[in-house]
Amino acid sequence: MSAQKNSGKTGAETAASGEGQQIRVALNSARLRTSYANVFQTRCTAEEVILCCGLSQPESLNTQDGGTENVLAVDLDRRIVMTPASAQRLLLALDRTLKEHAARFSGNIGGENA
């Protein structure tokens, strides 16, 4: 896939084929679901890259001796399995998006340390 200038379209909306022809891709977001994630776990095999996503929330649990224990509960609820080539495209898209975010919002990444 060849590099393209940002035309306001996502990579899924236009793509270049091996012959340099433009192919229009119709995106269907009818079943798109949104979930928030602040915890990620990655793994790989020879053929796949696996990204597990979830949410962490601090909790206080009662202990057997009557005290409380602070625990960080992590609920992994999404798994994305992709080829290494797709993972590379995701990496490039995230890098491009974070650079755009830094330019638009003065480098502030939501109060988190990068």
Residue with tokens 């020879």: 46
Residues 18-61 pLDDT 10s: 567 899 999 999 999 999 999 999 999 999 999 999 999 888 77
Q: What is the pLDDT, as a whole number, of residue 95?
A: 97
Burial of 69 (0-12, 13-18, 19+ CB in 10 A): exposed
Residues 5-22 pLDDT 10s: 444 445 444 444 456 789
List CB contacts of 39: < 8 A, sequence separation 6 or more: 53, 54, 55, 56, 74, 76
Average pLDDT, the chain: 82
